[in-house]
Structure 1
Amino acid sequence: MSSRAFDVIVIGSGPGGEGAAMKCAKEGRSVCVVDMRHQVGGACTHTATIPSKALRHAIQRFVEMRHVPGFRASPDAQPSFGDLTRTASSVIARQTDMRQTFYERNKVEVVEGRARFLDPHTVEVGQPKGAIDVLTAKAFIIAAGSRPYHPPDVDFSHPRVYDSDTILGMEEMPQSMIVYGAGVIGCEWGSMFRMLGVKLNLINTRDKLLSFLDDEIVDALAYHLRDMGCLIRHNEEYERVEGQDDGVVLQLKSGKKIKADVLLWANGRTGNSNGMGLEELGIAIDSRGNIKVNEAYQTSTPHIYAVGDVVGFPSLASAAYDQGRFAATHLVEGRLETKLVEDIPTGIYTSPEISSVGKTERELTKAGIPYEVGHAQFKSLARAQITGRTVGMLKILFHRETLELLGVHCFGDNASEIIHIGQAIMSQEGKANTLLYFVNTTFNYPTMAEAYRVAALNGLNRVF
């Protein structure tokens, strides 16, 4: 058993842990990162964001190639699902190697194992081969991430029942699938499988998809999923899941029974706060394993911070990285960088993508703010016509009197890239943050960015 002391110990090496560790190290603190995996990167790199988005890209390329004359004659024309998922392995390896160099360059020690608090300033780390490290620190930042939620009455050991982690290990392509849960993860995976021609039932426990988004964007997504052939069932809850030799039967409380080859459970995630000894320190944890924190990401024990998915919403890799830097800045300098958590864009990798920043129409109406709307339909843009990706739109919400930008919402190909133009202008002060920027700026032609000029002119026509 060895014992070492550091200024800061970070638990988890995903985006939140990396952001926190790099900030503390660059400020001259001695930092140790503890992670359960042999390689850094967290769930984001190994089981969630990177592999699923790499898989999505592979599926899109495969679907596009199916329309190339003569492609079906190729012996590789029909890859298995396992073949498609393995395309992500090279991306994961490159990401892991790159992130490992970050820790090495900044002299951050990385320890593999599971951390558990012995007291407010000490953790023991159980290593895979049985050795125990005892590490002490003046402060801690917990960035342990999350995992798919498993209700106790669903048998996830059944070979036809998957979650968003284990689905990456599925080898053969199913003919039919039930996706239970129509949040971000359910909609992303559902659209991927539907692109591959899998017969899909998307079960939503609420009355609409992704209700935190702008209503018009939600309606566009629902229409497009149905147009692809996806059957969406709203306001449904499961009664029982029965795994069989030839498929899975989902019994719903409404009395419906749905059978498919496989079930993908995508109904929520659980924070990885269990087994860390936090309860003994008086740190509050909710029923989904999320650690409760204040505006500085401090727990009820002030020198112990928590960031990323383990604190819950918004559960975005991009937000987690900023939260890590935010917590580290407060830890090192004692100040709050509130701008780090303002106007975080959402990126939802359905097909097509969705991305939003700022307020929705629903929020502006409730707040009594006089706003107007500018639209640009992708089908009218030359670049979209050239690429053939004409599904989607850009929507700008702005103050009717001052023309201040209030929200930008995009549905369509590369929405998660397009949104950042609007985000950059929204972050400006005063008159720089108005609709007139897009009217008075020359955009390359033809580009998708031109959608901002089209939407701005459309909005001005509603005002003047």
Structure 2
Amino acid sequence: MSDERFDAVILGSGQAGVPLAKDLAKAGQSVAIVESWHIGGTCVNVGCTPSKTLAASARVAYLAHRSSDFGISGGEIHTDMPAVIARKRQIVEHSNASNIKGLEKAGATIIMGEGGFAEQPASAGEYAIAVKAADGTERRLITKQVFLNTGERPVVPELKGLDNVPFLDSTSIMELEEVPDHLIVLGAGIVALEFAQMFHRFGAAVTVIERGTRLLPHEDEDICSCARDILLEDGLEILFETEAAEVSGTTGSIRLKLKDGKELHGTHLLVATGRRPNVESLHLDRVGVKQNEHGYIEVNDLLETGVPGIWALGDVKGPPAFTHVSYDDYRIVAANLLHNGSRRVSDRTLVYTIYTDPEIGRVGMNEMEARKAGKKIRVASVPMSYMARALEMAESRGMLKAIIDTETDLILGASIVGVEGGEVIAQIQLAMLGGLKYTVLRDAVFSHPTKSEVLNTLFMSLDS
């Protein structure tokens, strides 16, 4: 096996790896991007793209069932799950093909296989990467720059009987071409709630099992309560302070025993209890790259691992695990390496959207975090029914909340449970990026009736 030399080797083709490979190649570097599964990583193949495509179909089903609320009468509503899945696959394949085409056009070398640091090291100042293809063939790559972008995978919890039960995870459930009669969901995090609501809208009875006392523990209590009440109103069953002890059965007949002695019966089981980093095949110990107690790769503010010439980007370096964070990781590394930049992880303001319906949008600090940090704050909060556009759309469930620094009148953060909450939160994010005081949004003239107009009302609530 002869050595192949590259200026840079990228392990993993997620939302940081692909654009970084293109930029490095366009800058004249020889680049190899190694991928063991599908080009594009989680987001394109088994994450954002397919799940939000399915969520769009689920929302159409939801609105169809609500047609009488809008004065429209229709016939019986039926979910054609094979057609829903086919639509999802078509969009994923298009996105996947676009990634491959972009890499090839830029001049990057795509190598399919599982890559990691080789047992036999390279010479000083270089790294040897061993790549094993699915057919068993091996390649050895030599480089001075290694970028780790291998992402995460679903956690399989230690639950008695689970090894013998055909359970679903966040990947396999998106290939399900039937609507479960009764879906049992282990976990109540972001992934669990999005799929629970989605499949309930497709027509399944859904029971969510949560060990804790509330949903989404990183959000404020009032935001969690608001989201919980909406899901319960929609017909989901959520069992708090409940823990599974044993599972048995097969598809169509799942029996879940709880630690309190009760037993649940369902047709399908979704396990959504978290994710873990894909690091085992990297053999990080061979080069001294450090990991934290959860297995995530440790990096500094520049995404450097501490080992010269090795960076980690995206989910493999630990939470928050969002596509836009991974993409910004790429921008930080590319700016600093190729454009003499000085970008840092600590420069960005965290923003994200949870794609339940209505959406949960979040930017910056919430009240819980601000008070823990000792900030002197004012809290603006109004129900979503104060948004005229939401009333007109019959989508008035939810609430808006913003945290204001008392001393500066600057916005520290905001949370929204409401129709297109992710889009509305972006308006507040822009104000925060521009260093605007809350009074600017309070007094701004927004076109009527838009969703953004509610920001007038939200910040006027501080004056009442």
Pair in the same fold by TM > 0.5:
yes
How many Å apart are 1:336 and its aligned residue?
A: 4.5
Partner deviation per Cα, 1:389-428 (whole Å, 9 max, x = no partner): 2212222211234211111111112111111111111012
Identify the residue that residue 95 of structure 1 maps to in structure 2.
Answer: 95
Task: State the TM-score, normalized to the length of structure 1.
Answer: 0.91
1:87 partner SS: helix
Separation of aligned partners in 2, 1:378 and 1:320 = 31
- Contact 2:162 2:248 (C-alpha < 8 Å) held by counterparts: no
How many Å apart are 1:446 and its aligned residue?
A: 0.9
- Contact 2:379 2:401 (C-alpha < 8 Å) held by counterparts: yes
Separation of aligned partners in 2, 1:105 and 1:453 = 47
1:188 partner SS: helix
1:354 matched to 2:353 = no
1:164 partner SS: coil
Equivalent residue for 1:279, pick from 276, 279, 285: 285
- Contact 2:115 2:129 (C-alpha < 8 Å) held by counterparts: yes
Return the letter of the residue paired with 2:277.
G
- Contact 1:376 1:452 (C-alpha < 8 Å) held by counterparts: no
* Identity percentage of aligned residues: 27
Return the letter of the residue paired with 2:209.
I
How many Å apart are 1:166 and its aligned residue?
A: 0.9
Equivalent residue for 2:221, pick from 206, 215, 218: 215
Aligned pairs for 1:264-413 within 5 A: 264-286=270-292, 288-332=294-338, 336-338=342-344, 342-413=348-419
Partner deviation per Cα, 1:364-395 (whole Å, 9 max, x = no partner): 22233222122343323222122222212222
How many Å apart are 1:436 and its aligned residue?
A: 1.8
Equivalent residue for 1:419, pick from 397, 410, 425: 425
Partner deviation per Cα, 1:321-363 (whole Å, 9 max, x = no partner): 1112223444556764126752120211112111101111112
Return the letter of the residue paired with 1:323.
D
Quick one: structure 1 residues 172 and 287, their matched pair in 2 at CA, closer, same or farther if it must change by over 3 Å?
A: farther
Aligned pairs for 1:47-446 within 5 A: 47-68=46-67, 71-72=74-75, 77-118=77-118, 119=121, 121-151=127-157, 153=159, 160-244=166-250, 246-286=252-292, 288-332=294-338, 336-338=342-344, 342-429=348-435, 433-446=436-449
Separation of aligned partners in 2, 1:279 and 1:9 = 18
Separation of aligned partners in 2, 1:233 and 1:287 = 30
Separation of aligned partners in 1, 2:220 and 2:26 = 39
1:163 partner SS: coil
Quick one: structure 1 residues 233 and 336, their matched pair in 2 at CA, closer, same or farther if it must change by over 3 Å?
A: farther
- Contact 1:59 1:84 (C-alpha < 8 Å) held by counterparts: no
Separation of aligned partners in 2, 1:301 and 1:202 = 43
Identify the residue that residue 454 of structure 2 maps to in structure 1.
Answer: 451
2:296 partner SS: coil
Quick one: structure 1 residues 395 and 196, their matched pair in 2 at CA, closer, same or farther if it must change by over 3 Å?
A: same
Partner deviation per Cα, 1:20-67 (whole Å, 9 max, x = no partner): 324434544332211123x52112111121111100001111222234
Quick one: structure 1 residues 208 and 302, their matched pair in 2 at CA, closer, same or farther if it must change by over 3 Å?
A: farther
Separation of aligned partners in 1, 2:216 and 2:237 = 16
Quick one: structure 1 residues 83 and 331, their matched pair in 2 at CA, closer, same or farther if it must change by over 3 Å?
A: same
Compute the RMSD of aligned alpha carbons. Answer: 2.3
Runs of at least 5 residues in structure 2 that lack an aligned partner in the other structure = none
- Contact 1:352 1:391 (C-alpha < 8 Å) held by counterparts: yes
Number of residue pairs the alignment of both structures matches: 454
Task: State the TM-score, normalized to the length of structure 2.
Answer: 0.91
Identify the residue that residue 5 of structure 1 maps to in structure 2.
Answer: 5
